[in-house]
């Protein structure tokens, strides 16, 4: 009671004060909604930046021969495209969604550590500026692939690699701080009555993802630090001439890299598990099995890393183990897909834009899952490995998987965030345009990969010409569709039909049941009742 009185006294009558004015609002903000918005805009800018590099890649691959860029620059494009999309677009977008949604889903007033929240965001623009600046330096941007295998990234890399190393360190610090904040918020700030097994799945998946981040980002930091000392301080971690082992780099990288894959997909599972029940007007089927499946996937993700390395010359016992463990992941992943399909079964479905993106996610993510199962079978993987079949696989899970879920989340929650409905017609056009384009873009890459086209090549033999041209046309169309998305986003923020508090007929959860659209700048200053 005592604190409550002094608080009131300090603020006079305006208990629910709004944001500060001007630019400093965004620089100094500790508000989870502001920081969520900042993360989402950063992710969008990075999506367009990484996307423009993808356009250069597809332009060069439009025809056999070298027409537009030099091989060295092409390698910079594939590398920066991967780094920017993974660390700049997909991961910050999910952190942005967590910032916006976790507090209003669990009935908390804000994130547990708001000042650290500000810092973990504001590190990122500097990290990416530093990374991007290498493009304009002598030696160019990193050109050794986003997986930066040694010794190509150590002994054989230009001096600008040190900027890359420092940028990765900063991204890692930001991610770990963000993850600590999310765990602290979820474990400490749930409204009374919100037991763990009552939390929305998005909160569950993010809780598990945050643990993955804390576990593996330091491993990545270790890998780049070893690179740094190999490059400048005379160590030989990855240099065989000094007694080191280049393959050890791959073990360390993928010990980070494989859980990283699930960092980019578990929150997506949470989003889809929110959207499907709303538009099927039926509760999620198998809530608890969904939680257990997420946890199983997370645990398994630590035990399968070397399936990225079946051609590096591992002992056969290692290959057998990693094959069995890898294909085992399809069991919990399958459980999730079956649960979503059963949620739709005998529902009363409508197909607003978020539902379309969620359905697109399920179908195309599953296609990516199938090719993942094929890649997991070690002996055949020796033929798929490092081909366009792999490129097709991970773009199906990351573009039509992770990115689709993020776009679905935008359409689903933007009326809540802004109080404005997006333009339904434009949203549907965006979906169909993107979905047709993305399949024209990535499906033929399965074929060229199987036929023998290696990945990361700036030029190819004539037998791959037709499918590459088709793929490029799909690529340009998909890129343009996301510029159209930018227009939709701005239009929705500026205005639109007024959204109700519940927004969707079938929507459930604290953010739809207890908050108006848009929610006040400070929401849930008192804990809401939880059923």
Partner 1 sequence: MIFNKLSRRFLVIVTGLASMFSMSAAHAEYALNMTESVTPIGQQLYGLHMLVLWICVVIGVVVFGAMAWSIIYHRKSKGAVAANFHESTTVEIVWTVVPLLILIGIAIPATGTLLDLEDAKTDADITLQVTGIQWKWKYTYVDEDVSFISSLAQSSRDVVSDPTGNENYLLEVDEPVVLPINKKIRFLFHSSDVIHAWWVPELAVKQDSVPGFINDSWATIEKPGIYRGQCAELCGKDHGFMPIVVNAVTEAEYEQWLVSKKEEAAAAAASAEQEWSMKDLLARGETVYQANCSACHGPTGAGIPGAFPAMTGSPVVLGDPAGHIDVVVNGKAGTAMAAFKGQLNDVDIAAVVTYERNALGNSVGDMVQPSAIKNAR
- Catalytic positions: 81, 110, 146, 174-175, 258, 260, 262, 273, 307-308, 333, 336, 455
| 393, two tokens | 């696989």
| 281, two tokens | 């007007």
Asked if residue 379 binds partner 1 (CB under 8 A), the reply is yes
> In 12-90, where does DSSP find H-type helix?
24-28, 32-60, 71-83
Strand stretches in 2-116, DSSP E: none
Task: Give the range of 46-54, 151-159, 262-270, 492-500 binding partner 1 by CB under 8 A.
Answer: 151-159
Task: Give the range of 114-122, 196-204, 300-308, 464-472 binding partner 1 by CB under 8 A.
Answer: 464-472
Asked if residue 447 binds partner 1 (CB under 8 A), the reply is yes
Query: What is the DSSP track for 442-506?
Result: HHHHHHHHHHTPBSS-S---GGGHHHHHHHHHHHHHHHHHHHHHHHHHHHHHH--SBPPSS-STT
Q: Considering the complex, what minimum distance in angstroms separates the CB of residue 371 from partner 1?
A: 8
- Smallest CA-to-CA distance from 80 within 150, 158, 133, 154 is with 133
Q: Considering the complex, what minimum distance in angstroms separates the CB of residue 112 from partner 1?
A: 31
Asked if residue 197 binds partner 1 (CB under 8 A), the reply is no
Question: Among residue numbers 47 through 76, which ones bind partner 1 (CB under 8 A)?
Answer: 62-68, 71-72, 75
Do the beta carbons of residue 317 and residue 227 sit within 8 Å? no
In the shown chain, the binding pattern of residues 160 to 189 toward partner 1, with x for contact by CB under 8 A and - for none, equals x-----------------------------
Task: Give the range of 17-25, 112-120, 199-207, 355-363 binding partner 1 by CB under 8 A.
Answer: 355-363
Query: What is the DSSP track for 196-243?
Result: GGGS-HHHHHHHHHHHHHHHHHHHHHHHHHHHHHHHHS---SS-GGGT
Question: Among residue numbers 293 through 322, which ones bind partner 1 (CB under 8 A)?
Answer: 311-313, 316, 319-320
| 148, two tokens | 């930066």
Residue placing its CB nearer to partner 1 in the complex, 45 or 69: 69
Q: How many residues bind partner 1 (CB under 8 A)?
A: 106
Asked if residue 149 binds partner 1 (CB under 8 A), the reply is yes
* Binding residue for partner 1, selected from 464, 478, 485, 512, defined by CB under 8 A: 464
Q: Considering the complex, what minimum distance in angstroms separates the CB of residue 337 from partner 1?
A: 6
Residue placing its CB nearer to partner 1 in the complex, 88 or 458: 458
Asked if residue 456 binds partner 1 (CB under 8 A), the reply is yes
Cα distance between residue 496 and residue 41, in whole Å: 20
Cα distance between residue 200 and residue 293, in whole Å: 15
In the shown chain, the binding pattern of residues 229 to 258 toward partner 1, with x for contact by CB under 8 A and - for none, equals -----------xx--xxxx-----------
* Binding residue for partner 1, selected from 187, 196, 299, 451, defined by CB under 8 A: 451
Q: Considering the complex, what minimum distance in angstroms separates the CB of residue 183 from partner 1?
A: 28
Residue placing its CB nearer to partner 1 in the complex, 139 or 222: 139
- Which residues sit opposite 420 in a β-bridge? 498
Cα distance between residue 237 and residue 242, in whole Å: 8
Dihedral sign (CA 354, 355, 359, 365)? positive
Do the beta carbons of residue 48 and residue 88 sit within 8 Å? no
Residue placing its CB nearer to partner 1 in the complex, 252 or 359: 359
Task: Give the range of 23-31, 34-42, 323-331, 518-526 binding partner 1 by CB under 8 A.
Answer: 323-331
Find tokens 């894959």 and name the residue: 261
Cα distance between residue 214 and residue 128, in whole Å: 21
Cα distance between residue 24 and residue 138, in whole Å: 36
* Binding residue for partner 1, selected from 98, 280, 407, 510, defined by CB under 8 A: 280
Asked if residue 125 binds partner 1 (CB under 8 A), the reply is no
Q: Considering the complex, what minimum distance in angstroms separates the CB of residue 303 from partner 1?
A: 16
Asked if residue 158 binds partner 1 (CB under 8 A), the reply is yes
| 49, two tokens | 């930046």
Residue placing its CB nearer to partner 1 in the complex, 184 or 349: 349
Dihedral sign (CA 359, 442, 266, 53)? negative
């Amino acid at each position: 009671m005592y604190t409550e009185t002094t608080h009131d006294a300090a603020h006079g009558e305006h208990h629910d004060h709004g944001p500060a004015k001007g630019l400093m609002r965004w620089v100094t903000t500790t508000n989870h909604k502001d920081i969520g918005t900042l993360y989402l805009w950063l992710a969008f800018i990075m999506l367009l930046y990484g996307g423009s590099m993808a356009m250069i890649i597809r332009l060069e691959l439009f025809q056999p021969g070298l027409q537009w860029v030099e091989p060295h620059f092409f390698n910079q494009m594939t590398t920066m495209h991967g780094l920017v999309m993974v660390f700049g677009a997909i991961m910050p977008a999910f952190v942005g969604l967590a910032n916006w949604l976790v507090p209003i889903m669990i009935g908390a007033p804000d994130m547990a550590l708001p000042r650290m929240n500000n810092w973990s965001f504001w590190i990122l623009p500097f990290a990416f500026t530093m990374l991007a600046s290498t493009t304009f330096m002598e030696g160019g941007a990193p050109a050794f692939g986003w997986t930066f295998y040694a010794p190509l990234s150590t002994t054989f890399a230009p001096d600008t690699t040190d900027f890359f190393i420092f940028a990765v360190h900063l991204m890692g610090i930001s991610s770990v701080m963000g993850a600590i904040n999310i765990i602290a918020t979820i474990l400490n700030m749930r409204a009374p009555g919100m037991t763990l097994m009552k939390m929305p799945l998005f909160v569950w998946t993010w809780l598990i993802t945050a643990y993955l981040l804390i576990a593996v980002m330091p491993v990545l930091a270790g890998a780049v630090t070893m690179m740094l000392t190999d490059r400048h301080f005379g160590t030989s971690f990855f240099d065989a001439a000094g007694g080191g082992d280049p393959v050890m780099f791959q073990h360390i990288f993928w010990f980070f890299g494989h859980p990283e894959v699930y960092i980019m997909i578990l929150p997506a599972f949470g989003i889809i598990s929110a959207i499907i029940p709303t538009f099927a007007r039926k509760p999620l089927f198998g809530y608890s099995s969904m939680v257990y499946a997420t946890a199983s996937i997370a645990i398994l993700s630590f035990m399968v890393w070397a399936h990225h390395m079946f051609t590096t010359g591992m002992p056969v016992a290692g290959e057998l183990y990693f094959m069995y463990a890898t294909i085992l992941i399809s069991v919990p992943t399958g459980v999730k897909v079956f649960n979503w399909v059963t949620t739709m079964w005998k529902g009363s479905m409508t197909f607003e834009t978020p539902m379309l993106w969620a359905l697109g996610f399920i179908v195309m993510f599953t296609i990516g899952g199938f090719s993942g199962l094929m890649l997991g079978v070690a002996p055949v993987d020796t033929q798929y490995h490092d081909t366009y079949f792999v490129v097709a696989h991970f773009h199906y899970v990351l573009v039509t998987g992770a990115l689709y879920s993020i776009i679905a989340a935008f359409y689903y929650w933007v009326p809540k965030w802004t109080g404005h409905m997006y333009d339904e017609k434009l949203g549907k056009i965006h979906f169909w345009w993107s979905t047709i384009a993305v399949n024209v873009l990535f499906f033929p890459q399965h074929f060229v990969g199987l036929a023998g086209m290696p990945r990361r090549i700036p030029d190819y033999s004539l037998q791959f010409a037709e499918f590459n041209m088709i793929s490029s046309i799909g690529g340009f169309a998909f890129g343009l569709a996301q510029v159209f998305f930018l227009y939709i986003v701005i239009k929705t923020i500026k205005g639109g039909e007024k959204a109700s508090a519940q927004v969707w007929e079938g929507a459930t959860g604290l953010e739809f049941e207890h908050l108006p659209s848009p929610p006040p700048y400070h929401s849930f200053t008192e804990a809401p009742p939880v059923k």
